[in-house]
Copies of this chain bind each other. A is one copy, B any other.
Amino acid sequence: MVKKTVKKAAAKKPAAKKTVKKAAVKKTVLKKPAKYVYSFGAGKAEGNGKMKELLGGKGANLAEMAGQLKLPVPPGFTITTEVCTYYWNNKRTYPKTLKADVETSLKKIEKITKKEFGSVKNPLLVSVRSGARASMPGMMETILNIGLTEKTIPGMIEKTGDARFVYDAYRRLIMMYSDVVMEKAAGIEPKDGEGIRKVLDSMLGDLKKKLGVTDDTHIPAEELKKLCAEFKATVKKVLKKEFPDNPMEQLWGAIGAVFASWNGKRAIAYRNIENIPHDWGTAVNVQTMVFGNMGDTSATGVAFTRNPGNGDSHFYGEYLINAQGEDVVAGIRTPSPMNRWSANAHSAHLPTLEKVMPKVYKELDAIQKKLEKHFHDMLDIEFTIEHGTLWMLQCRVGKRNGTAAVQMALDMVKERLISKEEAVLRVTPAQLGELLLPAIDPKAEAQAKPIAKGLPAGPGGASGLVVFNSDDAIKLQAAGQNAILIREETNPEDIEGMRAAAGILTQRGGMTSHAALVARGWGKCCIVGCSELELDNAKKTVKMGGKTYKEGDSITLNGTKGWVYDGALKMLAAGEGNKNLAKFLSLCDSVRTMKVRANADTEDDAKNARKFGAEGIGLFRIEHMFYGKNSEKPLFILRKMILAGNEDERKAAVNELFPFMKKEIKATMKAMAGFGVTVRLMDPPLHEFVPTLPQKQEELAKALGISMDVFKERAAGLHEVNPMMGHRGIRLGVTYPEITYMQSKAIFESAAELLKEKVKAAPEVMIPLTCDVNEIIAQKKIIRQAYEDVVKAAKVKNLQFSVGTMIEIPRAAVLAYEVAGEADFFSFGTNDLTQMTFGFSRDDIGSFLPEYLKQGILEADPFQTLDQRGVGMLIEHAVAEGREAKPNLKVGICGEHGGDPESVEFCHREGFTYVSCSAFRVPIARLAAAQAAAKDVLARKRK
**Which positions in A face B, CB cutoff 8 Å?**
1-17, 20-21, 23-24, 268, 275, 277-278, 720-727, 731-732, 734-735, 769, 771-772, 774-775, 778, 808-811, 814-815, 817-818, 832, 835-841, 843-844, 847-848, 851-852, 855-859, 867-877, 880-881, 884
Contacts and interface: CB of A to CB of B under 8 A. Distances in A.
Closest 5 CB pairs of A and B: A11-B876, A11-B873, A722-B841, A12-B14, A14-B14
Contacts of A859: 4, 7
Contact of A725 (B12, B810, B841, B858): B841
Given A14-B12, A20-B10, A735-B848, A725 B839 contact: yes
B723 A721 contact: yes
Contacts of A835: 725
A260 to B, nearest CB: 18
A9 B855 contact: no
A21 B880 CA distance: 16
Nearest to A268: B1
Given A6-B21, A810-B839, A810-B874, 18 more contacts: A4-B24, A4-B277, A7-B275, A11-B868, A11-B873, A13-B14, A16-B881, A21-B818, A721-B724, A722-B723, A725-B725, A725-B835, A735-B848, A771-B838, A771-B840, A811-B838, A811-B839, A814-B874
Contacts of A9: 17, 20-21, 868-869, 873
A13 B848 CA distance: 32
B848 A731 contact: yes
Contacts of A772: 857-858, 870
Contact of A734 (B855, B868, B876, B880): B855
Contact of A723 (B13, B838, B844, B875): B844
A873 B12 contact: yes
9 contacts: A2-B855, A3-B856, A4-B24, A7-B275, A720-B844, A725-B840, A769-B839, A772-B870, A815-B869
A309 to B, nearest CB: 33
Contact of A13 (B1, B15, B724, B839): B15
Given A836-B810, A857-B2, A12 B723 contact: no
A8 B769 CA distance: 27
B832 A809 contact: no
Given A1-B856, A725-B839, A12 B16 contact: yes
Nearest to A731: B848
Given A6-B20, A20-B6, A844 B722 contact: yes
Contacts of A724: 721-722, 725, 839, 841
Nearest to A910: B11
Contacts of A725: 722, 724-725, 835, 838-841, 844
A880 B775 contact: no
Contacts of A851: 734-735
A856 B815 contact: no
Q: Which one of A727, A769, A839, A852 has the greatest number of beta carbons of chain B within 10 Å?
A: A839
Given A771-B838, A839-B769, A870 B12 contact: no
Contact of A11 (B10, B11, B720, B875): B875
Nearest to A840: B725
B868 A1 contact: no
Given A6-B23, A841-B725, A14 B815 contact: no
Assembly stoichiometry (copies) = 2
Q: Which one of A5, A277, A835, A874 has the greatest number of beta carbons of chain B within 10 Å?
A: A5
A21 B731 CA distance: 25
A870 B17 contact: no
Contact of A774 (B2, B16, B857, B871): B857
Given A722-B844, A843-B721, A847-B735, A17 B10 contact: yes
Contact of A14 (B6, B20, B877): B877
A517 to B, nearest CB: 13
A154 B881 CA distance: 71
A373 B157 CA distance: 119
Contact of A877 (B13, B811, B852, B871): B13
A13 B880 contact: yes
A12 B17 contact: yes
Contacts of A844: 720-723, 725-727
Given A15-B13, A724-B722, A871 B841 contact: no
B6 A24 contact: yes
A223 B700 CA distance: 71
A810 B877 CA distance: 14
Given A843-B721, A870-B815, A838 B856 contact: no
Contacts of A268: 1
Contacts of A735: 847-848, 851
A672 B7 CA distance: 39
Contacts of A14: 12-15, 877, 881
A855 B1 contact: yes
A135 B727 CA distance: 38
A22 to B, nearest CB: 9
A835 B818 CA distance: 21
Given A724-B721, A847-B726, A2 B856 contact: yes
Nearest to A844: B726
Q: Which one of A3, A275, A772 has the greatest number of beta carbons of chain B within 10 Å?
A: A772
Contact of A809 (B11, B774, B838): B838
Contacts of A815: 869-870, 873
A910 to B, nearest CB: 8
Contacts of A857: 2, 734, 772, 774-775, 778
Nearest to A272: B1
Nearest to A726: B844
Contacts of A278: 4
Contacts of A809: 837-839
Contacts of A808: 839
A167 B925 CA distance: 88
A901 B877 CA distance: 30
Contact of A858 (B277, B726, B774, B868): B774
A731 B910 CA distance: 32
A869 B881 CA distance: 15
A843 B722 CA distance: 8
Nearest to A811: B870
A8 B869 contact: yes
A844 B718 CA distance: 10
Contacts of A852: 731, 734
Nearest to A25: B821
Contacts of A814: 837, 870, 873-874
Nearest to A815: B870
A278 B7 CA distance: 13
A848 B727 contact: yes
A841 B16 contact: no
A21 B840 CA distance: 32
Contacts of A855: 1-2, 734, 774, 778
Contacts of A774: 855-858
A839 to B, nearest CB: 4
Q: Which one of A771, A809, A875, A880 has the greatest number of beta carbons of chain B within 10 Å?
A: A771
A11 B817 contact: no
A837 B817 contact: no
A18 to B, nearest CB: 8
A868 B12 contact: no
Nearest to A734: B851
Nearest to A851: B735
A735 B810 CA distance: 27
Contacts of A856: 1-4, 774
A877 B726 CA distance: 27
Contacts of A5: 24
Q: Which one of A4, A721, A810 has the greatest number of beta carbons of chain B within 10 Å?
A: A810
A839 B848 contact: no
Contacts of A817: 16, 21
